[in-house]
Structure formats: structure tokens, C-alpha cells
Amino acid sequence: MTIPTHTTLTDRPAARRRCGEKPTEPKSPAFVFALGFAQFGLFVALLGPVIVSMALKVNTVLANPTERTSALGLVLGVGAIAAFVGNALFGRLSDRTTSRFGRRRPWLIGGSLVMAAALLLISQAQSVPVLAVGWFIAQLGANAAFAPFIATMADQLPDKQYAKASAMVGVMQNVGVLGASQIASHMTGNMLGLFMVPAAVGVVGMVVYALVLDDPVLEEKPDRLDWRTLAGTFWVSPFRNPDFGFAWWSRFLIILSSFLFTTFRLNFLVDRVGLKDAEAAGAIATGILIYTGVLVVSGWVAGVVSDRTGKRKMLVASSTLLFGVGVALLAHAHTLSAFYVVEAIMGLAYGIYMSVDMALVLEVLPNRDDSGKDLGVFNMANAIPQSFAPLLGSLLLGLGATATSPNYTLMLWTAAIVALIGAAVVLPIRKVQ
């Protein structure tokens, strides 16, 4: 039996294109929509716990405010370690997958199902250790889907479509955050629904995309995966690929800046602004609505402008700088209205950043044949700070804290300085304008 070189939902004939071959023709609007819908679904499921749900769950297990912030940092930090390992590992494994269903599709579906099962475990957990185990497994499953998913952008898109498609992915990621926050604001007392409604959306999004994906089959059996090759999964030399290295550090720093705040956003509104848990969840939903509305407009405009002009670098650097300004302003916010103004500023900055930064990264990939592995290494710049930020944030909040008020000013100013450095490290990139 002959193995098809491409697999799609309808099995329509497709032009023969081997794995790793650079596309030249733009993908249809329907494909870009499916790409965005998959991103939306995954981030509804994955970032809901990060921004609101896990904090609410921890609050049902522990009563002391200091113990709550420490436990939240521990649980999210442990999960981010799984993301750090899983993203590069599953990206490499998907590069080497010889399934007749394609390289990426089995991971998209299987990973999302594992994530959903782990979120079910979290919804029923009654202790911090079980929460940590559940979140670790959830992150492994999510990244088993996410790393191959991001690799499909390199597989499927031509250069001239990078920024517009990246804008769609970046916008839908944040619309997913908005969706997650809205679900959380209406299900604060229903732990099963709080975690499983987002999980169902995540599975549907990934399965739909997997079914419509024109996924080339890897016909050549890859070399044996020995320990040396496996260790190389987690490394791309910044000396041989300096542009990739600078892009990696820029992403690391802005994600660290962002997660220093978002990890403790609910606690910030409770402790600094004086809201109750349910009120804080509602305020976060409103803030994210403002953030996302601005982000959708700025992200789409930036993506179109970037693709038409070919400019990537300055848009990334300036947006990272603006994001840092927003975080610095937040350090001095004590009212809900000030919080909302800062959400708008940060949405403007992050919309520009997310639409253009991924386009920049796709242009500086070291090897298209290993795009899953290399993008997995790049996505470690997302995972490592997610692991580090809760632990660093807990430390900064404790320095100079009072019995009733953690030190949010120190934490947020640290986040602002981190973003400023992230803007600076983009500038030495040479391969893109």
C-alpha cells in the first residue's frame, strides 16, 4: 500500500511537497482562520488556570494569603518546568514522526486530550501536591500539541504571509485569554466547569485544525535518536545563529516581564485595590476585554504593515519598550480605573509585539528540516520565564512586605526593567530589517 504524501480531511490531491520544503504560495483565509481557532482553543484551556482559575482553586484549598501566593507560585512554576522540557522534546519528536497521518497531526490530537484529562484531575484536587502534579501533566500534554502546532506555521506559510498569520495567531491567543477570563468570571464557584469548559474548547480547536491540515508525511526514516541527538533537542548555538539567539532572549525577557504580573494579577487586585475574589475575577475579565480589544486592532494593523514593508525589528523593539512603560505605570496604580488604563497600554504594545515577533522568528530559523525542534527551543523562551516568574515574583513580593500587603511596587518595577532590556536585545539582529 502506498503511503500518501499529504493527508487532509477530504483527501483531495495536493501538490507534492516534501517535509521541510519552503512553501511559496499563500494559504487560504480558511486555513488561517483554522490556525487562529486552534490557537484560541488551546489558550482558553491553557491560560485560564494561569490568569485566574488556578488562583481560585488554590484559594479553595488554603486560607492564609501568604500561603496562597507561595502555593500558587509553586504550582505554576512546577507546570512551567514541564512546558520547558515538553516544548522542545515534542517539537523534535514531531519532526521525526513517520505516521501515515502526517508528522504533526497525531501530536495535535493526542496532546490536547492529555491536557484535558489533567485539567479534570485539577478540578477535583483537594491538596497543593495534587494540583502541582495535575498542572505538570497538563503542561506536558499542552506542549505536546503546541510545539507541533507552531511548527506547522513554518511548514505551511510562505515568507510574505508570516506577519499576517502571526497576527492572527497572536490575536487569537489573547482572545483565548479573554474567553478564559469570561468563563472564570461566571464559574468562580464551579470548579468542574471552571476547568473542563475551557478544556473542551481546547480539544475542539486542535482537532478541527488537525483534520483540515495539509500535513506532509515523512517518507524517509530518520536516523536513530541517540542520547547525543536527544540532548541537542534543547540547544541551538547562539554563536552559530546569533540572530536566533537575540530573538530568543527578547522573547524570554518580555514573557518574564508579563508573567511577573499576570501570575499575581488576582492577588494584586485583592491586596492593592481591595476587591474580593469574585470581584477581582470580574475586574480581570473586564481588563482583559479592554486589553484584547486594543490588541486585536494594533496586532492586525502591525501585521499588515510589517508584511507590506518587510519591517520587523523596530516594531518588535518599540512595542517591547512600550510594554515596559505600561508595567511601570501599574506599579503605582491603586484604583480599578488606573488598572484598566494600563491594560489598554499593555494591549496596544503586546498586539504589535505578538503579530511581528513570530514573523521575525520564522525568518531567522536555523534549519527548516528541524523547524519543530528549533521552534521548540525558541518556545523554551516562553516556558522558562513562566517557571521562573512565579518563584521570582514570590521572592520580590516578600521583600519589604508587611503582614497584609506584599511588595507589588518592587515586583512591577523589576518587570518594567526586564522589558526595557528585552527591547534592547532585538536591535543587534541583522538578518531582518
Lowest-pLDDT choice from 30-34, 222-226, 261-265, 352-356: 222-226
With contact defined as beta carbons under 8 Å apart, do 412 and 328 qualify?
A: yes
Q: Which residues contact 275 (CB under 8 A, 6 or more apart)?
A: 269, 283, 336
Instruction: Tell me the fold of 29-219+237-424.
Output: Growth Hormone; Chain: A; (1.20.1250)
Q: How far apart, in whole angstroms, are the C-alpha atoms of residue 326 and residue 341?
A: 9
Q: How far apart, in whole angstroms, are the C-alpha atoms of residue 78 and residue 388?
A: 10
All three cell numbers of 267: 492577588
Based on its alpha-carbon atoms, the radius of gyration of the chain, rounded to whole angstroms, reads 21
In this predicted structure, what is the pLDDT of residue 13?
37
> Residues 325-338: pLDDT tens digits?
999 998 888 889 99
Q: How far apart, in whole angstroms, are the C-alpha atoms of residue 59 and residue 72?
A: 9
pTM above 0.85, yes or no: no
Lowest-pLDDT choice from 1-15, 149-163, 196-210, 378-392: 1-15
Of all helices (H) and strands (E), which one includes residue 327? helix 313-330
Specify the higher pLDDT residue, 182 or 415: 415
Q: Is the pLDDT assigned to residue 4 strictly greater than 50?
A: no
Highest mean pLDDT among 68-82, 108-122, 272-286, 377-391: 108-122
How does residue 1 score in pLDDT terms, banded at 50, 70 and 90? very low
How does residue 19 score in pLDDT terms, banded at 50, 70 and 90? low
Q: In the predicted model, what is the mean pLDDT of residues 282-296?
A: 85
Q: Which residues contact 28 (CB under 8 A, 6 or more apart)?
A: none
Q: Is the pLDDT assigned to residue 12 strictly greater than 50?
A: no
Highest mean pLDDT among 100-114, 212-226, 233-247, 357-371: 100-114
First to last CA, the chain: 48
* Dihedral sign from CA coordinates of 52, 55, 60, 63: negative
Q: In the predicted model, what is the mean pLDDT of residues 65-76?
A: 78
In this predicted structure, what is the pLDDT of residue 426?
86
All three cell numbers of 191: 470548579
How does residue 268 score in pLDDT terms, banded at 50, 70 and 90? confident
> Residues 80-139: pLDDT tens digits?
788 778 877 887 788 778 788 888 889 999 999 999 999 999 988 888 889 999 999 999
Q: Is the pLDDT assigned to residue 421 strictly greater than 90?
A: yes
Residue ranges of domains in the chain? 29-219+237-424
Q: In the predicted model, what is the mean pLDDT of residues 21-36?
A: 80
The 10 Å CB-count burial string (b at 16+, else e) for 358-371 is bbbbbbbbbeeebb
Residue 100 dihedral angles phi and psi, to the nearest 5°: -70, -10
